[in-house]
Chain A
């Protein structure tokens, strides 16, 4: 039931792009993306509902492929502030319960 995230870790130079993937073996109702910096609480980035929509937040966008039960988070022209661990959280059957993946640690270096 826990979604699988890949890759586990990414190291970028400032200005480079990255893609983080999240997949589930179960039919999904929605996918949430959060970013957590070391020692801090997770912070909401965006929600995607079933329907294959794509959303954007600054230079961060995401897609949701309902048929494949996958979501991808796209970070373009990365900034130092993008460093942190990214978690996808998935909900099934209209339940509010979110199950989170193990996370992808993103490091952006100057």
Chain B
């Protein structure tokens, strides 16, 4: 595709609900990253994949957060039992082997 695509663009969830955020990277990009960005802060690393392998998940805040990329292309970030502190913009980025990151527009998650 032309760029990194994320959906939905906005998500409102009630506390305790599960949510799934989708990322469609640029075709051919091997690496895919998830970041969480709170208002006025820098992107905080969550996890990253090289093809379908999850190489680093050290940034996932708790076991309620789970990410997958089963076929090495589209990735899904799932948050179970959402809490208010999960409210943030979730950014996905892709790259071709450690080169510059191309970011999607993000999913703004609001947990009420």
Of A12-20, A42-50, A59-67, A69-77, the one contacting chain B is A42-50
Inter-chain contact count A-B, CB under 8 Å? Answer: 52
Instruction: Check B31–A101 contact: CB distance below 8 A.
Output: no
Give every chain A residue within 8 A of B45 (Cβ-Cβ): 97-100
A50 shortest CB reach to chain B, Å: 13
Task: Please name the residue on chain A nearest to B106 by beta carbon.
Answer: A41
Task: Please name the residue on chain B nearest to A91 by beta carbon.
Answer: B98
Give every chain B residue within 8 A of A40 (Cβ-Cβ): 105
Give every chain A residue within 8 A of B43 (Cβ-Cβ): 42, 87, 100
CA distance A103 to B35 in the complex (A): 15
Instruction: Check A100–B100 contact: CB distance below 8 A.
Output: no
A contact residues, total (Cβ < 8 Å)? 21
Instruction: Check B101–A101 contact: CB distance below 8 A.
Output: no
Instruction: Check B103–A42 contact: CB distance below 8 A.
Output: yes
Q: Chain A, 75-110, contact with B by CB distance < 8 Å: what is the 0/1 string?
A: 000000000000101010001111111110000000
Instruction: Check A44–B105 contact: CB distance below 8 A.
Output: no
Instruction: Check A96–B42 contact: CB distance below 8 A.
Output: no
Give every chain A residue within 8 A of B33 (Cβ-Cβ): 96-98
Contact residues, A9-44 vs B (CB, 8 A) = 32, 34, 40-44
In the complex, besides A2-B42, A40-B105, A42-B103, 5 extra interface pairs with C-beta distance below 8 angstroms are A41-B103, A44-B101, A96-B33, A97-B48, A103-B41
Q: Please give the residue numbers on chain A whose beta carbons come within 8 Å of chain B beta carbons, in ascending order.
A: 2, 32, 34, 40-44, 47, 87, 89, 91, 95-103
